Structure 1
Amino acid sequence: MEHENPAATRPATAEWPAALPAVQVRVARPTDRLDEVVHFYRDGLGLPELFRFEEHAGYSGVMLGLPGAAYHLEFTSHVDGSPCPAPTADNLLVLYFAGPADRDAVAERLAALGHGPVEPENPYWATRGAVTVEDPDGWRVVLAPEPVFS
C-alpha cells in the first residue's frame, strides 16, 4: 500500500537540530564474517575505509565512511562470535542515488562480486525502481534510483 510521505513536503536541512547537536553518526553492528562484510561494503558499494582496529578487548572492527568521517558504518567481530540474531528481510540500509545510471553501476559492481538482486520484502521498493541486495550476513541494502525528498 503506497501512501504519501509528509516529510516529502518539508525541506531537508543540513543542520542538526539544536536539541541534538551531534557532530558524528555511527551505525555499528556485529558480524562473524568481518572480511566478507568489509569486502561487500568497501569494494562492492564503494565506501572508503576510515579506520581499522584489531584485538581491542577481544574485538576487531572496521569503520567505513558515508561519505567521510561524519557519517559512518562500523562492523565488529568478537573472538567469541556474534550474539546478534539473523536480520529480517526488512532490515534495510537505503542508499539514494541521483539517477538510475548511478544505481545500476553500483548494482553491477555488487553482482560481479556475487551479490545479485533479491526480491524486496516490501514491494514499495520494486515499484520505485530500487534494487535490493544482501550482504554476506543477510542484511539488505536498497539502491534507490532517486531521493525521496531533498
Structure 2
Amino acid sequence: MSDPMQSTEPKYTLGANAVPAQIRIARPTDRLDDVLEFYRDGLGLPELARFQAHADYDGVMLGLPGKNVHLEFTQHQAGSPCPAPSLDNLIVIYITDDEAYHGLIARMQRKGHTPVEPENPYWAGRSFTYSDPDGWRVVICRETGI
C-alpha cells in the first residue's frame, strides 16, 4: 500500500471530494474604470462578462485566463471602498515565455504603469510588481511557482 503523504500528484478536490468547476476572486472598488484599464487593458486579461445596475452594483469579470478562474470587480452605487490590506497581498501571474514576458512588461509601461518595489525581497530581481489603482499588488514573474 502506498503512503498518501508521498504522493506528488496534485489533488483537485475540496472537502467531501467536491471538484471545483470554477473559481472566482471578487473584490469591490470605487474605481472600476481605472481597475479595468489596469487589468484588462494593461495586463490584457480578457473581459468575460459585465453587469450594470444589478441591485445597485456594476461589475466586470476578467479571465485568468479563460473562464475557470477569474477576477470580478464590483462597484456599488453608494460606494465600495476596498483598501488593500497590506503590500504583501498579491496576485502572481507566471509568464514563462521570455518574449511574452518582456512584451507584457513593455505593454504595462506603455500604459503608464510603473513597477513598484516588492514588499517581500523574494520577488526582487525575478519579477516586476505593480500596484493597481486601489493599491493591490500584482506580480508578473518569469519563473513558475511550486
Structure 1 length as normaliser, TM-score? 0.84
- Structure 2, unpaired ranges of 5+: 1-6
Contact 2:82–2:134 (8 Å) recurs in 1: no
Identity value in percent: 55
Instruction: Map 1:1-150 to 2 at 5 A.
Output: 10=8, 13=10, 16-17=12-13, 19-127=17-125, 129-149=126-146
CA gap 1:85/1:117 in 2 versus in 1, 3 angstroms: closer
**CA drift at 1:69:** 1.1
**CA drift at 1:111:** 1.3
Matched length:
138
Distance 1:77 1:49 in 2: 16
Distance 1:95 1:36 in 2: 20
- Structure 1, unpaired ranges of 5+: 1-8
Q: Which protein shows a greater Rg?
A: 2
Q: Secondary structure at the match of 1:111?
A: helix
Structure 2 length as normaliser, TM-score? 0.86
Q: Secondary structure at the match of 2:59?
A: strand
Partner of 1:6: none
Amino acid in structure 2 at the alignment position of 1:71: V
Distance 1:113 1:33 in 2: 17
Amino acid in structure 1 at the alignment position of 2:66: G
Partner of 2:4: none
Which fold has the larger relative contact order, with Cα–Cα distance below 8 Å and residues 6 or more apart in sequence? 1
